């Protein structure tokens, strides 16, 4: 079987990191297995045409087996209300394809130093699952400003949305090896249930779904406490589920504990479609200089292969994903080829070349 991958390079360093990932994926599996269709979209495309995501691109994404994305967003390219155009690429794909689970692995890699003392690879390894279609962000574009005196946005939590993301997170925990500290499969519900009814409802529904999973321990944390726990005891966590805004915030905090956004992959998943991209932004200040770090997008490519392998029962893809992860780990462990954000001078093409050499070896 062959797979069509809708590929949106996007803005800034997006074309560089997406191109590097396509190069590596083709080296792993060949063009007969993975076929990449390059599509338009992003803030730069909007600046030229007035469309951030053409209908033709959305249609192609809907017809593809998966979507690979570089990055979106450019400074100064905004709507009249001041909100950034680049975000709408993700939002249109998210709602158009019903990508309700935002998956952010937080994993300390070999050769990467955590700012948290005494933590080594293997001691920070958890996943944040963020509900992706509801919460406060669902109000984007629908908020109200009255007489330039007050503004209001609505927080929306539904039973359907919470049930499906909770079930997704619990099933993910079942497939994992448990928290590094004690090996327990654990779902932590992150909310503010002590203050707002909407979050109390979120917790209630998570409880109800959790009752179906006797093999996964349920745990709870208010989001303010969670910001402390992720710094002081990250090894306790296995899978965390959160509302859209809270999940967005704690995901970036978690990324900071394992080296930053440049090594943080992400996926946005639904029942039929998957979008994969690095968690970082478009970094237009270094675009075109071969200075980008491709690790996050490479690891997102590995996530894409793993997801496709499960969806289509194709062991070739899961084997390739494992080889890709090992190759990235091998380059980082070597220590000679360090991206600039880690104090080295290895650019996008040089790091990619080393990954390809690891695969050849």
Residues labelled as active-site residues: 137, 192, 224, 248, 252
Q: Name the DSSP class of 133.
A: S
Neighbours of 321 (CB within 10 A): 22
Q: Are 202 and 163 in contact (CB under 8 A)?
A: no
Q: Name the DSSP class of 135.
A: B
Q: Which is nearest to 219 in space by CA: 268, 179, 180, 247? A: 179
Residue 95, SS3?
helix
- Continuous H helices in the chain: 14-29, 43-49, 55-63, 86-96, 159-175, 197-210, 223-232, 244-256, 295-312, 315-334, 348-360
d(CA 25, CA 104): 21
81-107: burial string, b at 16+ Cβ within 10 Å, e else: eeeebbbbbbbbbbeebebbbbbbbbb
d(CA 94, CA 100): 7
Among all chains, which residue has been given the structure tokens 């805004």? 245
């Amino acid at each position: 079987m062959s797979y069509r991958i809708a590929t949106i390079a996007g803005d800034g360093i997006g074309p560089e990191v997406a191109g590097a990932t396509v190069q590596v994926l083709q080296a792993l599996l060949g063009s007969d297995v993975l076929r990449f269709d390059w599509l338009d979209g992003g803030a730069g495309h909007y600046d030229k045409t007035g469309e951030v995501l053409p209908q033709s691109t959305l249609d192609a994404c809907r017809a593809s087996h998966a979507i690979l994305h570089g990055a979106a967003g450019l400074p100064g390219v905004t709507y009249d209300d001041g909100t950034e155009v680049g975000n709408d690429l993700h939002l249109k794909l998210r709602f158009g394809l019903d990508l309700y689970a935002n998956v952010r692995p937080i994993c300390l890699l070999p050769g990467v130093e955590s700012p948290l003392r005494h933590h080594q690879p293997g001691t920070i390894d958890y996943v944040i699952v963020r509900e992706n279609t509801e919460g406060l962000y669902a109000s984007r574009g629908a908020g109200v400003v009255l007489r330039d005196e007050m503004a209001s946005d609505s927080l929306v939590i539904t039973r359907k949305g919470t049930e499906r993301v909770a079930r997704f997170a619990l099933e993910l925990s079942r497939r994992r090896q448990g928290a590094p500290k004690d090996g327990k499969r654990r779902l932590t519900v992150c909310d503010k249930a002590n203050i707002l009814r909407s979050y109390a409802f979120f917790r209630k529904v998570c409880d109800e779904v959790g009752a179906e999973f006797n093999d996964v321990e349920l745990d709870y944390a208010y989001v303010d406490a969670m910001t402390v726990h992720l710094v002081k005891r990250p090894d306790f966590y296995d899978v965390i589920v959160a509302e859209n805004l809270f999940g967005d915030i704690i995901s970036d905090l978690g990324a900071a504990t394992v080296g930053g956004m440049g090594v943080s992959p992400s996926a946005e998943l639904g029942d039929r479609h998957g979008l994969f991209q690095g968690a970082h932004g478009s970094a237009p200040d270094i675009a075109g200089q071969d200075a980008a770090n491709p690790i996050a997008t490479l690891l997102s490519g590995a996530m894409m292969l793993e997801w496709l392998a499960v969806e289509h029962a194709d062991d070739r893809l899961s084997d390739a994903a494992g080889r890709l992860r090992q190759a990235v780990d091998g380059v980082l462990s070597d220590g000679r080829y360090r991206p600039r954000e880690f104090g080295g001078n290895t650019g996008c093409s040089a790091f990619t070349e080393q990954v390809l050499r690891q695969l050849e070896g």
